[in-house]
Amino acid sequence: DSEIVSAYPNPTYDELYLHLKESAQVIVVSDMAGRIVLQKELDPGQRTVVLSQKWRELEQGLYILTFKNQNELVGSLKVLKK
C-alpha cells in the first residue's frame, strides 16, 4: 500500500527520497523478475531515507520497493528508474 510512504521524484534518475508514515526495519528493492537488487536496513524510528549511490548503479526500469518489519510486510511501492 503506497499510502504508508511517499517517494519523490518518481520517475527518478540519481536519487530517490522516501518518507515513511510508519516505521519499518528494512527496505527491499526488487526488479520486475523478483530479484532483490538492493536492501537497506533502517535505524529504529527512521522515517526519512535517501537512496543514492547504489540506486544510481541500478539499470533503468521499474522496481518494487517493499517495506518490512521482521518478516511482516508494511507496504510496497513501484518506482521507475530512468
**pLDDT tens per residue across span 15-49:** 999 999 888 999 999 999 999 999 999 999 899 99
SS3 of 19, please? Answer: strand
Which residue(s) pair with 74 in the sheet?
A: none
SS3 at position 41: strand
Predicted TM-score (pTM) of the model is 0.89
- 47 by Cβ neighbours in 10 Å (0-12 / 13-18 / 19+) ranks as middle
